Amino acid sequence: MAEKDEAKEKQKLEDLIELLESIRGGHTELVTVLIPAGANINIVTRQIEGEKSTASNIKSTSTRKNVIAALDTIIRELKGMKQTPPNGLAIYCGNISQKEGDSDIQLWVIEPFKSLNVKIYRCDQEFVIEPLKEMVGIEEVYGLLVIDRQQATIGLLEGNQIKVLQKLTSGVPGKIRAGGQSSQRFHRITEGLAKEFFRRVAAEMKKIFFEMPRLKGILVGGPIPTKEDFLDEGQLVTKLKEKVISIKDLGYVDEHGLELLVEASQQEIQEQELIKEKKIVERFFNTLGKDKMRAVYGEDNVRLALERGAVEVLLMSKKWERDKEKEFEKMAENIGSEVVIIGIDHQDGEQFFNLTKGVGAILRFALE
């Protein structure tokens, strides 16, 4: 999916999440069904049909009636599908009427723009939306590479999900057994094959990562000294080389190796997030001090700057009110502003909140 299309899908999902989050059932009448990618939809349908017998034991007549009605609505929807959509399916259904005794059964069916990897059935007073929130919460991604002289695996870290993107093999023999001149010749040949392999891996990484706008950094793992040899001799383009933020010693270069690489690089990832926040807060305060007409803070001032299309970077504290954060974020996206959420677990973030009470902006041009 193109970045532009994904952004639209993400916005649609964010709006729907906001709606679903606002709904509260008077009783346990809201049904959530999350079907992961690759699941057999016929089996899931039979399982939901089985839940009707459990629902028939609900003591409250109106609650029982509404839950069974929601389940019937979901079952009809599922029976109209031949198979689970490629990225899975999220279904929300239930009585949303706020008037006691009234019934208003509503259904939402979502084919997510990213792979859904959890299976959930729940009947409660609220919908389960955390897995969808995780999807739209991913702003940046990390490229992954684990490599030795025989093989390499390229992957991507999106939120908590690790995806394998490409596997490559070198054809370089693992051991040298010949002696004398033949051993030296064999060594030259294998070194040549290894360098060619490194170049192929670098070329593949360029294809995958070079034009990836959300790429925050690259993590590299493998045995000593292969990963270092790759970075020295693989001819990885400078733009990507500069994004390498973590180099880890690993014995695995498969999918498990990607998992170990991410696990070992948690500190570097957290530091990158912190560095970005600190840099933008520092820029905000510097602008405020040196050219105060190009920075504003406080809800009213920032709103005015957004309305006039003057905001280059919108900064919002994690402590700020959620509903206002969503409103301002939409306004910023409409005028092409960068949005940065500032944490409160560091001194710069606390200082930012104490001054601005939650929101500030660096401007493209001064307001009159």
Q: Is the pLDDT of residue 1 over 70?
A: no
Question: Taking residues 147-158, what's their average pLDDT?
Answer: 94
Do residues 87 and 115 make contact, with C-beta atoms less than 8 angstroms apart? yes
Q: Is the pLDDT of residue 2 over 60?
A: no
- What are 198-217's pLDDT values in tens digits? 999 999 999 999 988 789 89
Supply the pLDDT for residue 182.
72
Bond prior to 36 in cis (omega within 30° of 0) = no
- What are 303-330's pLDDT values in tens digits? 999 999 999 999 999 899 988 998 998 8
- List the CATH code of the domain at 274-363: 3.30.1330.30
Give the strand pairing for 215-222 and 244-249: parallel
CATH 3.30.420.60: which residues of the chain? 141-264
Write the burial class of residue 193 (CB in 10 Å: 0-12 exposed, 13-18 middle, 19+ buried).
Answer: middle
Q: Is the pLDDT of residue 270 over 90?
A: no
Angstrom distance (rounded) from CA 163 to CA 144:
9
Angstrom distance (rounded) from CA 152 to CA 157:
16
Q: Is the pLDDT of residue 162 over 50?
A: yes
Q: Is the pLDDT of residue 345 over 90?
A: no
β-pair partners for 145:
154, 220
pLDDT confidence bin for 177, thresholds 50/70/90:
low
Supply the pLDDT for residue 233.
85
Supply the pLDDT for residue 138.
60
SS (H, E, C) the chain: CCHHHHHHHHHHHHHHHHHHHHCCCCCCCEEEEEECCCCCHHHHHHHHHHHHHHHCCCCCHHHHHHHHHHHHHHHHHHHCCCCCCCCCEEEEEEECCCCCCCCCEEEEEECCCCCCCCCEEEEECCCCCHHHHHHHHCCCEEEEEEECCCEEEEEEEECCEEEEEEEEECCCCCCCCCCHHHHHHHHHHHHHHHHHHHHHHHHHHHHHHCCCCCEEEEEEEECCCHHHHHHHHCCCCHHHHCCEEEEEECCCCCHHHHHHHHHHCHHHHHHHHHHHHHHHHHHHHHHHHHCHHHEEECHHHHHHHHHCCCEEEEEEECCCCHHHHHHHHHHHHHCCCEEEEECCCCHHHHHHHHHHCCEEEEECCCCC
Q: Is the pLDDT of residue 225 over 80?
A: yes
More confident site: 68 or 138: 68
CATH 3.30.1330.30: which residues of the chain? 274-363
pLDDT confidence bin for 247, thresholds 50/70/90:
very high
- List the CATH code of the domain at 3-137: 3.30.960.10
Q: Is the pLDDT of residue 139 over 90?
A: no
Q: With pLDDT > 70 as the criterion, what percentage of the chain qualifies?
A: 95
Question: Taking residues 348-363, what's their average pLDDT?
Answer: 95
Q: Is the pLDDT of residue 3 over 60?
A: no
Question: Taking residues 141-154, what's their average pLDDT?
Answer: 95
Q: Is the pLDDT of residue 11 over 80?
A: no
**Range 141-264 has CATH code 3.20.20.70:** no
Angstrom distance (rounded) from CA 305 to CA 295:
10
Q: Is the pLDDT of residue 27 over 90?
A: no
Indicate the range of 27-41, 157-171, 286-300 predicted with least confidence. Answer: 157-171
pLDDT confidence bin for 251, thresholds 50/70/90:
very high
Supply the pLDDT for residue 4.
45
- What are 46-68's pLDDT values in tens digits? 999 999 999 999 899 999 999 99
